[in-house]
Amino acid sequence: MPTWVQVVYLLCAIGFILALKGLSGPRTARRGNLVGAAAAVVGCVLPFIYVDHLDHVPLMIGAIAVGTAGGVFGARKVQMTQMPQMVALFNGVGGGAAALVALLELNHMLEVQDALDALGADVDAYGWFVYAATAFTIFVGSVSFAGSLITFAKLQELMTSRPVVFAGLPVAFGLMLLGGVGLSVLTVTDAAIGIGIALCLVGLVFGVLLVLPVGGADVPIVISLLNAFTGLTVAAGGYVLSNTLLLVGGTLVGASGTFLTLLMARAMGRSVGNIMFGALKGGSTLGGGEASDRPVKSAGPEDVAILLGYADRVIIVPGYGLAVAQAQHTLRELVDVLGERGTKVDYAIHPVAGRMPGHMNVLLAEAQVPYEQLVEMDEINGEFKNTDVVLVVGANDVVNPAAKTTPGAPIYGMPILNADEAKQIVFMKRSMRPGFAGIENELLFDPKTTLLFGDAKESLGKLLNSIKSL
Which residue type, as a one-letter code, is found at position 373?
Q
CA–CA dist 353, 84 (Å, integer): 12
What is the average pLDDT across 165-173? 87
pLDDT of residue 179: 95
Measured at the CA of 371, the angle between CA 379 and CA 28, to 5 degrees, comes to 110
- Candidates 46, 96, 108; CA nearest to 67 is 96
pLDDT of residue 404: 86
Highest mean pLDDT among 140-144, 263-267, 295-299, 403-407: 140-144
What is the average pLDDT across 78-89? 81
CA–CA dist 146, 162 (Å, integer): 18
Pairing mode, if any, of strands 313-318 and 449-453? unpaired
Lowest mean pLDDT among 39-43, 77-81, 329-333: 77-81
pLDDT in tens, 198-257: 999 999 999 999 998 887 667 778 888 999 999 999 999 999 988 888 999 999 999 988
Distances (CA, A) of 94 to 141, 358, 451: 8, 21, 44
pLDDT of residue 169: 87
Instruction: Report percent pLDDT > 70 for the chain.
Output: 94
Distances (CA, A) of 55 to 51, 52, 64, 448: 10, 10, 15, 70
Please tell me which residue in 397, 420, 446, 455 is annotated as part of the active site.
397
Strands (E), 378-423: 389-393
Domains and CATH numbers, the chain: 78-281 (no CATH), 301-468 (3.40.50.1220)
pLDDT of residue 418: 93
pLDDT of residue 290: 61
pLDDT of residue 17: 93
Can 397 be counted among the known catalytic residues? yes
pTM to 2 decimals? 0.79
CA–CA dist 181, 187 (Å, integer): 10
